[in-house]
Amino acid sequence: MKFLRSLYIHNTFFRYIAVLSACFVISYWVPNLYPIAWLLVYVLLALFFLDLYLMYATKMGIKAHRNPPKKLSNSDENILSVHLSSNYPFKAEASVIDELPVQFQKRDFEHKTHLQKGEPHFFEYSVRPVERGEYVFGNLIVFASSPIRIIKRKYTFQKDQMVPVYPSIIQMQQYDFLATSNRLTEFGLKKIRRIGHTQEFEQIKEYIKGDDVRTINWKATAKRSQLMVNQYQDEKSQPIYSIIDTGRVMKMPFDGLSLLDYAINSALAFSNVALKRNDKTGLLTFSKKIETFVPAVQKITHLNTIMESLYNISTDYSDSDFGLLYAHVKRKVNQRSLLLLYTNFEHISGLKRQLPFILAMAKKHVLVVIFFENTELESLITTDAEDLQSIYHKTIAEKFSLEKKLMQKELQKYGIQTILTKPEALTVNTINKYLEIKARGII
């Protein structure tokens, strides 16, 4: 039974059958071709058994192995490789089929190649997941055939290989590399001019040539009878929290990815940058209840804790309780902190319902409210209206776009920092706002 399950007929065999059928049909009118037709039948049978022997004489003719990353990165192109080798004494033809996870909805994956004995072969392909979770790869199947190409032997490898999809690790690594190599402008990150003294006192020391005379400590100078200056160091270890609304308003999809996953990817990349700049980072997610709370810590290993927490975020997209959020922040976040609140408002009435709780949080902390532009409306706004229905659609789209700007003005009126951003520019704009706040010494 195992032998029969691995035996398949090559497409070329059916072409041979078609030729034989034509010979028998023609021999009906040309009887002299009848013996030749039967001779071809015997030749085909001989080739069949010869091909059978060639394919099954070698116990393990083909070896194959799939090499995915340990973790796939959500919303990014992830590279996977497949390695092949042949033990057949002839040049074998191989057709590789990888059973991709159901989340990709791709059923036409196939790679064809030729394998020489002892020569390794590998190829790469990419996949782009758009949701977090466990992705199970099915069988890695290889159909091998000899140069005779009458039968194919099926080989099966690596059944049910699970690979987790995490928040965008690739995006995080890109910003990490650009930050350390001082090439931030390549991704749209701005160099912010430092304004004033955003530094904290370290010690008093003797004045030496080149010190800033504005830092002279006159009291210490009078006591020591020599010039003394204050020495400062950059402010570090400031607590910063990424607060993610996992409620219904974050379900809207753009480019196959929900606003929630855009926020998760941004929070991971931003947390990595903040940790590299020696600040404490924490995480809070909420909807109708507080789902995740990770206290702010300044350790580079703390990034793994944040990553695991972001990976495990799940939600039923219910209405979010901002009052509960305020109460939790008041109870758990005692030190003045920078709070980055990822949420979304489609109507100004929705903002006004939550405004009292937002203002209450902003009294003690530096609060940045991050919400999203509806990029789907841009095509309606920029398209010329040609009929009454188009005019109606364009007017409604412009109204929604204006409401977003009015909401931003409403928050800024109360001194609350805001980011109104396209989903794809979320990470860049969030890091820019963080750099701006640090440079201006707001926290």
Residue 57, domain CATH: 2.60.40.10
Summarised one tens digit per residue, pLDDT across range 380-416 is 767 777 777 777 777 777 787 788 889 999 999 998 9
Asked if residue 164 lies in contact with residue 134, where contact means CB atoms within 8 angstroms, the answer is yes
139: its two tokens? 């069988």
Number of residues that make up the chain = 443
Summarised one tens digit per residue, pLDDT across range 220-275 is 888 888 888 887 655 567 899 999 999 998 998 888 899 999 999 999 999 999 99
Question: How far apart are alpha carbons 226 and 105 in whole angstroms?
Answer: 77
In a shared domain, residues 273 and 410: yes
Work out the burial of residue 296: count CB atoms within 10 Å of its CB; fewer than 13 is exposed, 13-18 middle, 19 or more buried: buried
349 found inside a domain: yes
Question: How far apart are alpha carbons 434 and 443 in whole angstroms?
Answer: 10
Give 146-197 as a DSSP string. Answer: -TT-SEEEEEEE--SEEEEEES-HHHHHHHHHHHHTT-GGGGT---PPP-S-
Query: What is the CATH classification number for the domain harbouring 384?
Result: 3.40.50.410
198 found inside a domain: no
pLDDT at 262: 95
Q: Which of 213, 230, 247 is the last residue of a domain?
A: 230
283: its two tokens? 């995480």
> Which H/E stretch holds residue 141?
strand 140-145
> In terms of pLDDT, which residue wins out, 195 or 398?
398
In a shared domain, residues 253 and 382: yes
In a shared domain, residues 146 and 221: no
Task: Classify the phi-psi angles of 149: left when phi > 0, otherwise alpha if psi is within -120 to 50, otherwise beta.
Answer: left
303 found inside a domain: yes
In a shared domain, residues 174 and 162: no
The boundaries of the domain holding residue 289 are 170-193+236-440
In a shared domain, residues 307 and 434: yes
In a shared domain, residues 288 and 174: yes
Statement: residue 376 has pLDDT above 80: no
Statement: residue 378 has pLDDT above 90: no
In a shared domain, residues 396 and 249: yes
pLDDT at 129: 93
- CA diameter of the chain: 128
| The total number of structural domains that make up the chain | 3
φ, ψ (nearest 5 deg) of residue 330: -60, -35
In a shared domain, residues 97 and 39: yes
The answer to whether the Cα torsion of 358, 280, 199, 204 is positive or negative is: positive
Asked if residue 131 lies in contact with residue 74, where contact means CB atoms within 8 angstroms, the answer is yes
Q: Which of 113, 147, 166 is the last residue of a domain?
A: 166
For the question of whether the overall pTM of this predicted structure is more than 0.85, the answer is: no
Summarised one tens digit per residue, pLDDT across range 45-82 is 888 889 888 988 888 899 999 999 999 999 999 999 99
pLDDT at 339: 96
Provide the pLDDT confidence category of residue 195 given band limits of 50, 70 and 90. very low
Q: Which of 118, 147, 166 is the last residue of a domain?
A: 166
pLDDT at 199: 58
Asked if residue 352 lies in contact with residue 254, where contact means CB atoms within 8 angstroms, the answer is no
Average confidence (pLDDT) over 208-213: 79
Work out the burial of residue 107: count CB atoms within 10 Å of its CB; fewer than 13 is exposed, 13-18 middle, 19 or more buried: exposed
199 found inside a domain: no
Summarised one tens digit per residue, pLDDT across range 101-156 is 999 988 888 999 999 998 899 999 999 999 999 999 999 999 999 998 888 999 99
In a shared domain, residues 223 and 182: no
157 found inside a domain: yes
436 found inside a domain: yes
- For residue 195, the tally of other CB atoms under 10 A from its CB is 10
17 found inside a domain: yes
In a shared domain, residues 154 and 247: no
In a shared domain, residues 257 and 291: yes
200 found inside a domain: no
In a shared domain, residues 242 and 125: no
Statement: residue 6 has pLDDT above 80: no
Query: How far from the centroid of its chain's Cα atoms is residue 14's Cα?
Result: 46
